[in-house]
Amino acid sequence: MLGSDAIVEAFQHHGVSRIFIFPGGTIAPVLDSATRRGVEIYCARHEQGAGYAALATARLSGRPQVVMVTSGPGVTNIITVVADAYFDSTPLIVLTGQVGTGDMLGNLPLRQRGFQEVDTIALLRPVTKAQFLPKKPADLPGMMEQAFEVAASGRPGPVVVDLPMNVQRGEVGEIPGSDEHPARDGKSLHGVNPAQIRQVLEWLESSRKPVILAGQGVLIARAQRELRALAEHGQIPVTQSLLGLGAFPTASPLALGFHGHTGNQYAGRALHEADLILVVGSRLDVRQTGSRFDDFGSGGRVVRIDLDLAELEHSRIRSDLNLHADARSALAALNAGLAGRALPDWSKWRERIDRWRKEFPLNYDMDGALKPQFVIETANRLSGGRSVICVSGVGSHQQWVARHFDFDYPTRIWLTSGGHGAMGFDLPVAIGSQLACPEAQVLCFVGDGSLQINIQELAAVAENKLPVKIIVLDNRRLGIVSQFQKFNWKSDPACGEKWNPDFAAIAAAYGITGLTVRSVSEVEPALKKAFVEPGPVLIHCLVDPLEDVVPMLMAGQTMDKMWPYE
Ligand SMILES: Cc1ncc(C[n+]2csc(CCOP(=O)(O)OP(=O)(O)O)c2C)c(N)n1
Ligand SMILES: [Mg+2]
């Protein structure tokens, strides 16, 4: 068996039937083996296109997916996706072609020895859980096994396996017992501690103003049912992080939407006043806590459940109790402890929150101009009752989708770039979502700026006849950065008044139905047409360039206040 065959065997052993690639000479041996052994090959138009499509499949299936790129420029082009997967906990197996071991630079004081050689391991080390560099074909079976194990275990994330040409092409032969163990980030997970569970329940029972804060950890652990049981048993309000949206149905009367930098002000108020915040599977990023770390949770106690011990040990937020556990086990233990026990009546607290809902609604003026929020709300309404995967780019439109679209895992799923905040996530993630879930309605809300980062992937939409609906919210502006510049420096160089192409005409050039929407009255007919059309549709919406993300939690503000309100 060749080294490349051993790699493909590992795919098959782990249920990977499709790999995501952009080709090059140094991955040709694995491509040959994959074809001979019946593994489907999805070929994007750019390495980011391949990587994000794999990332979407991994997020939706919860299982590691394979992206494979060639050495040199293939590697440098994939780094953004790998970083995205690392920061947002997505299990990816990143296979990179490499020059033969005899041509590798090693420790020589040269810039390069082999053609298209880069030090892949060094480039990817800061954004991967583990790095593997097989020196001989016999190393491959063990390393591939470990790669799949590490990517999926504990807090998921990407791993890289750098594949020198001669290692792929050589005979595997005898497989020696491996004594090499890669660096592992997760310390082993102990069971849920019953004394800690009793303590949380005691605090909950004596609380007057509890709030649950749900993060993406709930979704990764597939613990949305356990979360719902806890919240509904006690009628406890639930706020969600940007990536956690959908962990709890956002249309529920108990849901506060999301909180933080661009979240709902009433959610911020609830967190500010809460006397018990139960944080489940969220790292409490600065975007959701604001910069006043001292103030977060100052109204009472903070309890955290997380399976990444490092997040608990190095948090900027004070915590009164840390449960090192996965969200599902911890929530199940809390629910078991509550069985048959009545919790206090928190209706006064909920009424107080409901008054804030009315005081700080997510309004926007319908002053004649076409508002992006209106497009999103209309798409939300028209897609009701369907299985939806909603994807966004990065920018103001991302925040509006998070605010105005309803999520409820697993029927209304949200995929967005959180920690890395990478423009260009949008279109290729929509593609990967549609490949992974052919029956789902995939909606891609994307800004004019974000779309252009990976616009070449329209070719893959057309080629694979993927019925994604791409809704371009074109404000002729790199909106959220322009808003930031204007707020601080009163002008927006490079970000305002952008020249844009006719995106509907571009879609048409790819053989994709393109529609243009300029006014409020055109929104619903265009969306309805898109939803009934069996193939892909791009709707180019010319939205109000003056619309800003308001309100916003600014540096120095506590959670209860959001600019421009006090
Ligand atoms: C790859 C990348 N480059 C730059 C940025 C910085 N950035 C964040 S949002 C944004 C503007 C996004 O513009 P657009 O997609 O039109 O969305 P809008 O804010 O206008 O809705 C920029 C430039 C980024 N997040 N990612
Ligand atoms: Mg824009």
Closest atom of ligand 1 to 483 CA is 19
Model confidence pLDDT, tens digit, residues 148-196:
999 999 999 999 999 999 999 999 987 766 555 444 444 445 579 999 9
Closest atom of ligand 1 to 474 CA is 16
Ligand 1 centre and the CA of 217: distance in Å?
26
Token match 């529609």: residue? 515
- Structural tokens at position 457: 């992937």
325-345 core/surface letters (b: 16 or more CB in 10 A; e: else): bbbbbbbbbbeebbeeeebee
For ligand 1, whether the C-beta of 496 sits within 6 Å is: no
Q: What is the pLDDT of residue 187?
A: 45
Closest atom of ligand 1 to 448 CA is 16
Token match 């690392």: residue? 86
* Predicted confidence band of residue 566 (pLDDT cuts 50, 70, 90): low
396-404 vs 372-382: helix crossing angle, rounded to 10: 40
Protein residue whose Cα sits closest to atom 13 of ligand 1: 478
Mutate to test the pocket of ligand 1, among 78, 480, 503, 543 (most ligand atoms within 8 A of CB): 480
Chain-wide mean pLDDT for the chain? 96
What is the C-alpha to C-alpha distance for residues 74 and 59, in angstroms, rounded to an integer? 23
What percent of the chain stands above pLDDT 90?
Answer: 94
Protein residue whose Cα sits closest to atom 9 of ligand 1: 395
- Structural tokens at position 66: 């394979």
HEC-encoded secondary structure of 184-252: CCCCCCCCCCHHHHHHHHHHHHHCCCEEEEECHHHHHCCCHHHHHHHHHHHCCCEEECCCCCCCCCCCC
For ligand 1, whether the C-beta of 523 sits within 6 Å is: no
Q: What is the pLDDT of residue 340?
A: 86
- Predicted structure pTM score: 0.96
For ligand 1, whether the C-beta of 396 sits within 6 Å is: yes
Closest-CA residue to 406 (of 214, 255, 271, 543): 255
Ligand 1 centre and the CA of 423: distance in Å?
6
Q: What is the pLDDT of residue 86?
A: 98
Protein residue whose Cα sits closest to atom 5 of ligand 1: 423
- SS3 of residue 48 by DSSP: helix
Closest-CA residue to 284 (of 321, 242, 254, 227): 242
Model confidence pLDDT, tens digit, residues 43-95:
999 999 999 999 999 999 999 999 999 999 999 999 999 999 999 999 999 99
For ligand 1, whether the C-beta of 397 sits within 6 Å is: yes
- Sign of the dihedral through C-alpha 189, 193, 196, 200: positive
Model confidence pLDDT, tens digit, residues 271-330:
999 999 999 999 999 999 999 999 999 999 999 999 999 999 999 999 999 999 999 999
Ligand 1 centre and the CA of 336: distance in Å?
45
What is the C-alpha to C-alpha distance for residues 338 and 192, in angstroms, rounded to an integer? 15
Token match 């915590």: residue? 319
Model confidence pLDDT, tens digit, residues 209-251:
999 999 999 999 999 999 999 999 999 999 999 999 999 999 9
Q: What is the pLDDT of residue 176?
A: 66
Q: What is the pLDDT of residue 174?
A: 75
Q: What is the pLDDT of residue 186?
A: 44
Q: What is the pLDDT of residue 393?
A: 98
Judged by its nearest atom, the ligand closest to the C-alpha of residue 480 is: 1
List 446's β-bridge partners, or say none.
Answer: 472
Is pLDDT above 90 for 385?
no
* Predicted confidence band of residue 367 (pLDDT cuts 50, 70, 90): confident
Judged by its nearest atom, the ligand closest to the C-alpha of residue 80 is: 1
Closest atom of ligand 1 to 422 CA is 26
Sequential DSSP letters for 267-324: HHHHHHH-SEEEEES----HHHH-S-TTTTTTTSEEEEEES-HHHHHT-SS--SEEEE
- Structural tokens at position 564: 């421009």
Mutate to test the pocket of ligand 1, among 77, 397, 399, 423 (most ligand atoms within 8 A of CB): 423
Model confidence pLDDT, tens digit, residues 321-358:
999 999 999 999 999 999 988 899 999 999 999 999 99
Element (H, E) at 7: helix 3-13
* Average pLDDT, integer, range 362-388: 94
What is the C-alpha to C-alpha distance for residues 132 and 115, in angstroms, rounded to an integer? 21
Ligand 2 centre and the CA of 70: distance in Å?
32
For ligand 1, whether the C-beta of 427 sits within 6 Å is: no
Q: What is the pLDDT of residue 23?
A: 98
For ligand 1, whether the C-beta of 423 sits within 6 Å is: yes
Closest atom of ligand 1 to 395 CA is 19
For ligand 1, whether the C-beta of 479 sits within 6 Å is: yes
